[in-house]
Chains A and B, each alone.
Chain A
């Protein structure tokens, strides 16, 4: 099946710092999605990207669909304690009928 490599696996940062995480794939994707999961809750969609090169913001979050269509990154600026959680990337491969593939997640800890 398709593999998504998400990095880093975990991050420990100070409040106010910027954060960057990314996902890469060996194959071409049509869609990239970024989700955040709080402890004990389901993943919540943060940003959806549908075109190569697309750069989309949602408040302090910015995500980009890589030009090669094989990667995406998510940036969080000026982190705050409530940014704590697990961030997942997900992508839909170009192959017809393929399902969303999820990364293994980035665990973010923000120290006040």
Chain B
């Protein structure tokens, strides 16, 4: 139990579907992150939120849409994804958005068919 909970753990979706990934942190942190992890690639930072404001968007396609309603919750809305978007999506949190120590959730395995 890392204090960062992600749901669902596994998701299979068609390219025309709309789905969402959810993340909740119980650590009292004020920064949250979405990372993408593909096979044989380093972790890719997608989005950073600090105090519910997006502070970073690393050239992520618009078919990924983040939402941070409060400092404990983070969503990643998915629509019209491509098969190459299949990956493990990791949520993380830290005490500040400079993020010198971040804690990850268990990840959501996404398969796009």
The residues of A with any CB-CB pair to B shorter than 8 Å are 30-31, 33, 35, 40-45, 48, 50, 88, 92, 97-100, 102-105
How many chain-B residues does the 8 Å CB contact rule pick out?
Answer: 22
Assembly CA distance A10 to B12 (angstroms) = 30
Known: A41-B107, A99-B45, A102-B43. A31 touches B101 (CB 8 A): yes
Chain B, 24-46, contact with A by CB distance < 8 Å: what is the 0/1 string? Answer: 00000000000000000111010
**Of B2, B48, B56, which is within 8 A of A44 by CB?**
B2
On whether the beta carbons of B100 and A45 are closer than 8 Å, the reply is no
A92 and B107 in contact (CB under 8 A), knowing A44-B2, A102-B42, A104-B42? no
Q: In the complex the two chains form, what is the Cα distance from A41 to B88 in whole Å?
A: 9
Report B96 CB to chain A, min CB distance, Å: 11
Q: Are A43 and B109 in touch, CB under 8 angstroms?
A: no
On chain B, the residues within 8 Å of A35 by CB distance are: 104
**Are A100 and B102 in contact, with the CB atoms below 8 A?**
yes
Contact residue among B41, B99, B103, B105 (Cβ-Cβ distance under 8 Å from A45): B103
Q: Which residue of A lies closest to B55 (CB)?
A: A97
Determine whether the beta carbon of B98 is less than 8 Å from that of A97. yes
> B residues within 8 A CB of A103?
42
Interfacial residues of chain B within 1-36, with CB under 8 A of chain A in the complex: 2, 4, 6
Cβ-closest chain B residue relative to A29: B100
